[in-house]
A and B are shown apart, each in its own frame.
Chain A
Amino acid sequence: MTGLRDRTPEAASPAVTARDLTHTYPGRRRRPPRRGLDGVSFEVAPGTVFGFLGPNGGGKTTLFRILATLLPVSGGAASVAGHDLAAEPLAVRRALGVAFQSPALDLRLTVEENLRHGGHLYGLSGADLAERIDRNLARFSVADRRRDRAEELSGGLRRRVELAKALLHEPRVLLLDEPSTGLDPRARRELWDVLAELAAGGVTVLLTTHFIEEAERCHRLLLLDRGRVVAEGAPEELKRQVGGEVVTLASGDPDGLAAALEADLEAGPATAGQGAPGVLAVAASEASVRLEMSAGEGEGEVGTGAWDLVSRLARRLPGWEERVTAVTVARPTLEDVFLHRTGRPLEAGDADPAEGAP
């Protein structure tokens, strides 16, 4: 407790820290209490784009709500810009810019009125606020809609207005819940340009996401599953930990094919030579079989070991032509990282109890 509170805000200290954060949602009628977060710890350096990646129910939303001071810190400790969340919530809120997944806009007010209202809540007013509103509306290309009521805007435009609102007071830490949801590809690109620019200027960006493409663009990632941290690191680093290539064999009978492959692999080494990548795991899913390979020693060309394996298997396995309809060789993705760490795909997962809660 003491260490976090004594820390004074300075450039070198982390922008956000969390130590052993735990949150339990109280049970309701016919619903047992549920762990939303279970001992989550991390540190975020200033100027980092830091992503929380995980399935729904993984704990992202709970973590987001705790950091936004909307849920109390019931276990562990966390700080934003050097301010402890439990002890100095107002200072934390002043340092934070928050953009919600469902935009916190008043649909009956115009875009400009929404921004002015938001600015007032952060203590901004007058010509200074007007200038900030102009700048941020331009930043997200919504300046031409400033006199339109928010209800007339599409979902994507509302999200952009929400982001413009979150940046009015030039927060040092930006907290975004699923920022790309509902944005078209161009708006998404613009958003990421803005985020990169902010991060380069020293702003720390924390965002929740379940999009792999979005997660790939983060400097660092925290993979969350069932309220626990399953991995943390830069996307490349995480993918390297999985190992070598991943071979995916599309098949009409994945289970049969997987069984045949396993039997075959047990019979003898699939690849030639010492230090060549071997098969670490075989897993059948709905319409394909996944072969996870170990990383080869030395930086080989992409997929050489894998293609070698495929050609050997194709020769040895009876009925290959009928059983395998397509072969894909790829470097591991973050999805593979998640699968590797949890044994479950990223898309699965149950509803987050925080969603829809007040």
Chain B
Amino acid sequence: MSRDSHTAGRGGERGSGRNAERSAGSARSAPWLAAATLWRREIVRFLREPSRVASAAVTPLLFWGLIGSGFSGAFRLPGEGGAADAGDAATGFLEYFYPGTLLLILLFAAIFSTISLIEDRREGFLQGVLAAPVPRLAVVAGKVAGGATLAWLQAAPILLLAPLAGVPWSAASLAAAAGVMVLVAVELAAVGVVFAWRTSSVQGFHAVMNLLLIPLWLLSGAFFPISAAPGWLAAVMRVNPLTFALAALRGALYSAAPATEAAATGLPALAPALLVTGALAVAAFGLAVVVARPPRVT
């Protein structure tokens, strides 16, 4: 690819040599600069609309508090013994539902922040980006990074509620969970971009959310353990991509006391869960880049 159009541009009135040199140097770093500026824009917009800050976290928290409390008497993890033993050791529904709540916040926040892509297209902002000399990879990277950051920023404060939920926590386990949340946020933001790029209306995007992503979340083990599900449903849950995200989150959260976990929930162990989630994040990002490719004529 020739760069001469850039360097040989009108030099300007003063310092044309200096300018040309500078543009030649910056042309090389342009994709990163473009991705960074797109990312930064998402953050600035988010911070300027305080109403959006709260919105994605509120509904899942409400679910957690109400459903968690309502079911707390009736819920028991398989293998934890009878009602008579239900003391401190038993997992209450408030505790069981806690990692799923984190996942739902990530899901809501990541998906809704990528909706801005649809608004950008409608308002004409996107065509300005698409007409700029920026590879689509950089555009997607900026958008995914922005969505993932916003999702993480909304879910991270909720991590501090772990003690309240009864999760046996330590600084290391919370840090591990925060790290896994980065990975899950990237995965979900990339999925959001895949859907948002080709969707022309916000309504259509909500349909995807309601008909596909919420059911996937329900069947991830967030709401009830695989071990409690009938065989056919358990089979569906085991191949659900979000099951691995939840398993990774739970695995990290319970890394302070791994013995009380995994076996009872029927979820995959932390290592394979991380591996699958990582692979899915890369795949979703790759798909987003493919979807965002400019139309080509065959």
Task: Name A residues whose Cβ lies closer than 8 Å to a Cβ of B.
Answer: 9, 68-74, 81-83, 86, 88-96, 98, 100, 102-109, 113, 116-118, 120-125, 128, 165, 169-172, 201-203, 358
Contacts and interface: CB of A to CB of B under 8 A. Distances in A.
Nearest to A119: B37
Contacts of B34: 120-121, 123
Given A122-B133, A172-B5, 16 more contacts: A71-B295, A72-B294, A90-B133, A91-B3, A93-B131, A95-B5, A100-B128, A104-B125, A104-B128, A109-B44, A121-B132, A123-B33, A123-B34, A170-B10, A170-B12, A358-B200
B72 interface: no
20 contacts: A9-B4, A9-B5, A68-B131, A81-B5, A88-B2, A98-B128, A102-B124, A104-B125, A108-B45, A120-B34, A121-B30, A121-B133, A123-B33, A124-B23, A125-B26, A128-B19, A170-B9, A170-B10, A172-B5, A203-B10
A201 B124 contact: no
B41 interface: yes
B202 to A, nearest CB: 14
B218 to A, nearest CB: 33
Contacts of B23: 123-124, 169
Interface in B126-156: 126-135
A96 B131 contact: yes
Contacts of A171: 9
B281 to A, nearest CB: 26
Contacts of A96: 131
Nearest to B130: A70
Nearest to B40: A117
Contacts of B41: 106, 109, 113, 117
Contacts of B123: 102, 107
Contacts of A125: 26, 33
A120 B10 contact: no
A123 B125 contact: no
Contact of B127 (A72, A83, A104, A118): A104
A106 B45 contact: yes
A180 B36 CA distance: 33
Contacts of B38: 117
B10 A202 contact: yes
Nearest to B138: A121
B159 to A, nearest CB: 29
Contacts of B297: 72-74, 86
A95 B4 CA distance: 9
B259 interface: no
B1 interface: yes
Contact of B27 (A69, A82, A117, A123): A123
Contacts of A73: 297
A121 B134 contact: yes
Contacts of A70: 127, 130-131
B63 to A, nearest CB: 30
Nearest to A93: B133
B294 A83 contact: no
Contacts of B9: 95, 169-172
A118 B125 CA distance: 11
A106 B131 contact: no
B131 A69 contact: yes
A29 B107 CA distance: 34
B194 to A, nearest CB: 16
A94 B135 CA distance: 12
Contacts of B33: 120, 123, 125
Interface in B1-48: 1-6, 8-10, 12, 19, 22-23, 26-27, 29-30, 33-34, 36-38, 41, 44-45, 48
Contacts of B1: 88, 90-91
Nearest to A97: B131
A100 B128 CA distance: 8
A232 B245 CA distance: 62
Given A90-B133, A98-B131, A109 B45 contact: yes
A122 B2 CA distance: 15
A212 B123 CA distance: 28
Contacts of B10: 170, 172, 201-203
Contact of A105 (B27, B125, B131): B125
B5 A103 contact: no
Contacts of A172: 5, 9-10
Nearest to A117: B37
B49 interface: yes
Contacts of A128: 19, 22
A10 to B, nearest CB: 10
Contacts of A89: 294
Contacts of B36: 120
A93 B297 CA distance: 19
B121 interface: yes
Given A70-B127, A70-B130, A106-B125, A123 B26 contact: yes
Contacts of A165: 128
B149 to A, nearest CB: 17
B212 to A, nearest CB: 22
A106 B123 CA distance: 8
Nearest to B29: A123
Contact of B124 (A103, A113, A202): A103
A123 B3 CA distance: 12
B129 A121 contact: yes
Interface string B94-127: 0000000000000000000000000001011111
Contacts of B296: 72
Contacts of B8: 9
A103 B297 CA distance: 28
Contacts of B2: 83, 88, 91
